[in-house]
Amino acid sequence: MKWITARRRHPLAGYVVVILALALFGVGYAALAPTADQAQAQTLAAEPPSPDDVDVANGEDIFNQTCATCHNYDGSGTYGEDGEYTRGPDIRDSGAAAIDFQVSTGRMPSMNPDAQMPRKPMAMSEEDLQDLIAYYNAEIRTGGPDVPYDVPGEAPERENFEDEASYEAALEEYEGEYEAYVEGADDTDMGMRLYLTNCAHCHGWSGGGGALTDGRWAPEIHDASPRQIYEAMVSGPGAMPMFSDTVIEPEEKQELISYVKTLQAEPNAGGIFDLDRVGQVAEGLIGWVVGLALIIACAIWITAKQRAHD
């Protein structure tokens, strides 16, 4: 006790106490923060396209014209003598979900398979995409995840319908499915924790994307449909890790996707110190450094005045 009493009058004792208090507060919050738990979520009962609604022969023509140049006619890829693919990798085990994701986001077909492709408008119609997937499933596919048809895809476009009434009916049906899927997730807290744990370190806290190694980047996900987010998780495009349904269960994916869609609609609050929603960690670090600097400056000023008074 005498050791403590003797040193608590040291000029630096106040600063040490402030720093220890802030450190203990941060450690205590991290220890008491809640962890992820399970949630029961509702899903839709959508079905894949009927065999009567797809044209496998048309899908074969599309594959031969737009995919085979890089991926070979049997989907085995094109490889050089060193065993490295020269134009396109083997897609036989990629799964229909990967095909739907790459084509629906406009990343495929690509003129440069070695370059990371940004999101673009889809190069074919929705009907042609379904024909392509039907051919892939029938003649090429040997494994991989299915298209999650129970998760809403992109909204219908007016140009794909003959009249306004048909388009309005399709849009109303889509909006009903979309709302049912998003609102079926009832644990926003769990979705947030799943996103921050598995996604935010690459795609950013706000979903705006971010830089990776070797000149690559994690794309922003503001325009992604629920189905495309689901397909990206189960197929792991590019440098993204794969989150199968055994790693993150479908109900958990629904919670995560619902949180992302909520995040997409959240505006930037702006303000004098607008940080462009760079993320909780970065914003917290800035707040911590600035706040700690102000506290230390105030403590130095107070003690300096006290010494001058003495």
Give residue-wise pLDDT tens across range 102-121: 999 999 998 776 788 889 99
- Domain boundary residue among 84, 113, 148? 148
> Do 24 and 78 belong together in one domain?
no
Q: Is residue 153 part of a domain?
A: no
> Do 55 and 132 belong together in one domain?
yes
- Mean pLDDT, the chain, integer: 81
Q: How many CB atoms lie within 10 A of CB 307?
A: 9
Which among 147, 144, 149 is positioned nearest to 43, based on CA atoms? 149
The mean pLDDT of 44-49, rounded to a whole number, is 62
Q: How many CB atoms lie within 10 A of CB 135?
A: 24
pLDDT in tens, 126-177: 999 999 999 999 999 999 999 999 999 998 888 888 889 999 999 999 999 9
pLDDT value of residue 255: 95
Name the percent of the chain lying above pLDDT 70.
Answer: 74
> Do 116 and 58 belong together in one domain?
yes
- Domain boundary residue among 123, 148, 173? 148
Q: Is residue 7 part of a domain?
A: yes
- Domain boundary residue among 101, 133, 148? 148
Residue 175: both structure tokens together: 């909006």
Q: Is residue 225 part of a domain?
A: no
- pLDDT value at 225 more than 60: yes
Q: Is residue 62 part of a domain?
A: yes
What angle (nearest 5°) sits at the alpha carbon of residue 134, between those of residues 229 and 93?
65
- pLDDT value at 85 more than 80: no
DSSP sequence for 78-101: -B-TTSSBSS----TTT-HHHHHH
- pLDDT value at 79 more than 60: yes
Q: What one-character DSSP code corresponds to residue 268?
A: P
Each as own residue / partner, the long-range contacts of residues 23-26 (CB below 8 Å, 24 or more positions apart, any chain) are 26/288
The mean pLDDT of 199-214, rounded to a whole number, is 84
Q: What is the pTM of this model?
A: 0.72
Question: What whole-number distance in Å separates Cα of residue 22 and Cα of residue 6?
Answer: 23
Least confident of 24-38, 206-220, 288-302: 24-38
The mean pLDDT of 85-104, rounded to a whole number, is 90
What angle (nearest 5°) sits at the alpha carbon of residue 84, between those of residues 78 and 89?
45
Give the helix/strand (H/E) hosting 28: helix 13-32
Which among 224, 215, 218 is positioned nearest to 201, based on CA atoms? 218
Domain encompassing residue 128: 50-148
Q: Please report, for the domain that includes residue 62, its CATH number.
A: 1.10.760.10
Question: What whole-number distance in Å separates Cα of residue 265 and Cα of residue 285?
Answer: 25
Give the helix/strand (H/E) hosting 4: helix 2-7
> Do 87 and 131 belong together in one domain?
yes
- 11 exposure class (CB count in 10 Å sphere: 0-12, 13-18, 19+): exposed
Residue 291: both structure tokens together: 């706040």
pLDDT in tens, 47-58: 678 888 899 999
Number of domains, the chain? 2
> Do 63 and 142 belong together in one domain?
yes
The mean pLDDT of 278-288, rounded to a whole number, is 67
Q: Per-residue confidence at 233, pLDDT binned at 50, 70, 90?
A: very high
Least confident of 32-36, 117-121, 195-199: 32-36
> Do 15 and 98 belong together in one domain?
no
Question: What whole-number distance in Å separates Cα of residue 186 and Cα of residue 39?
Answer: 8
> Do 76 and 114 belong together in one domain?
yes
> Do 63 and 30 belong together in one domain?
no
Q: Is residue 57 part of a domain?
A: yes
- pLDDT value at 33 more than 50: no
- Per the CB < 8 A criterion, the answer to whether 261 and 196 are in contact is no
pLDDT value of residue 12: 61
Q: Per-residue confidence at 41, pLDDT binned at 50, 70, 90?
A: very low
> Do 30 and 109 belong together in one domain?
no
> Do 140 and 70 belong together in one domain?
yes
Question: What whole-number distance in Å separates Cα of residue 153 and Cα of residue 185?
Answer: 17
- pLDDT value at 307 more than 50: yes
> Do 86 and 109 belong together in one domain?
yes
pLDDT value of residue 63: 97
> Do 25 and 57 belong together in one domain?
no
